[in-house]
């Protein structure tokens, strides 16, 4: 068997890489409570801290238990469209449909998008109609959408994506995903989006349905030790490797996420921070 490696190039795999149980890095009970409550929320963290690995593990966890239909999709390809809404939204929709084929073995979204009703729908509502179609395919198992690299999108493409998700919010869960998780480097409230008309729109106004922001913490030394067990000889090598690769924005001193609260309107909600 090949020796395991430390990994920052995409999702980690337990057979190939030293890694922690991804679901130990988040509060699973809190995430499940948010999904049960039909909330939309954000998961954000610096690059190379395991966001994608966590989302994939969460998708598998939800689908294994069978109550929900969970789907992970990376929509980074829409970044190349910049502010071209037609191209950007088509790319995001294609990424979601392709992920449904890969992870769920379901080609119906691809058929709808490329050969069915979706071909004639304008970009300004194509994403919301695609998600409505997916949700209505199996209403007994509410849809949960995990969108990765959302903050890679820019300009009017990002504005359209956020507003189309917001527009369908009232139809959940029968005709829209019960939960949508937006994942990226930044919290959506920190987005400053330059529209084609020259206006600057904040993410908080374009996506004011967000219930919480969860922040994934950087790795502590203790976690580095744990992920390299039982081969403790790798710990020092791991520290040197992490410094070379820049995996931790704050070096090895950045540790677990801690939970604080912040006021959102009239409510106090939990927020993860350093």
CATH classification at residue 188: 3.40.50.300
Across the range 234-261, mean pLDDT stands at 44
**Cα–Cα distance for residue pair 33/29, rounded to 1 Å:** 6
Residue 46 lies in a domain: yes
Across the range 4-18, mean pLDDT stands at 69
Residue 4 lies in a domain: no
Residue 153 lies in a domain: yes
Residue 42 lies in a domain: yes
pLDDT recorded at residue 238: 53
pLDDT recorded at residue 45: 85
Residue 123 lies in a domain: yes
Residue 224 lies in a domain: no
1 — pLDDT class (breaks 50, 70, 90) = low
pLDDT recorded at residue 7: 67
Across the range 217-230, mean pLDDT stands at 68
- The helix (run of H) or strand (run of E) holding residue 193 is strand 192-194
SS3 162: helix
pLDDT tens figures, 29-88: 999 999 999 999 999 888 877 889 999 999 999 999 999 999 999 999 999 999 999 999
Residue written as token pair 């969970």: 70
**Cα–Cα distance for residue pair 221/120, rounded to 1 Å:** 53
What DSSP string describes 207-265?
Answer: TTTEEEEEEPPPPPHHHHHHHTTT-TTHHHHHHHHHHHHT--TTGGG----EEEEEEET
Residue 256 lies in a domain: yes
Query: How many structural domains compose the chain?
Result: 1
Residue 13 lies in a domain: no
Residue 162 has pLDDT above 80, yes or no: yes
pLDDT recorded at residue 224: 67
Q: Find, among 152, 151, 159, 149, the residue nearest to 80 by Cα.
A: 152
Where in the sequence is the domain holding 162, given as residue range(s)?
A: 22-216+246-273
């Amino acid at each position: 068997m090949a020796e395991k490696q430390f990994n920052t190039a995409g999702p980690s795999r337990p057979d190939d890489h030293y890694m922690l149980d991804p679901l130990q890095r988040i509060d699973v009970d809190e995430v499940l409570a948010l999904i049960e409550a039909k909330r939309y929320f954000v998961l954000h963290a610096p690059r190379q801290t395991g966001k994608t690995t966590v989302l994939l593990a969460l998708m598998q966890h939800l689908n294994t238990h069978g109550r929900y239909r969970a789907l992970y999709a990376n929509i980074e390809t829409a970044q190349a469209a910049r502010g071209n809404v037609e191209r950007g939204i088509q790319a995001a929709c294609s990424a979601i449909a392709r992920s449904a084929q890969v992870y769920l073995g379901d080609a119906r979204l691809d058929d709808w998008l490329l050969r069915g009703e979706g071909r004639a729908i304008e970009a300004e509502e194509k994403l919301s109609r695609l998600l409505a179609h997916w949700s209505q395919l199996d209403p007994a198992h509410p849809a949960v959408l995990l969108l990765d690299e959302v903050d890679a999108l820019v300009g009017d493409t990002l504005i359209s994506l956020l507003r189309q998700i917001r527009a369908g919010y009232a139809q959940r869960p029968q005709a829209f995903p019960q939960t949508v998780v937006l994942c990226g480097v930044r919290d959506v409230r920190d987005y400053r989006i330059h529209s084609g008309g020259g206006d600057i729109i904040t993410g908080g106004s374009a996506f004011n349905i967000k219930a919480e922001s969860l922040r994934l913490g950087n790795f502590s030394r203790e976690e580095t030790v744990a992920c390299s067990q039982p081969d403790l000889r790798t710990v020092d090598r791991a520290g040197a490797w992490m410094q070379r690769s820049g995996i931790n924005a704050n070096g090895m001193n950045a540790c677990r996420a801690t939970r604080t609260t912040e006021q959102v309107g009239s409510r106090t909600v939990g927020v993860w921070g350093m």
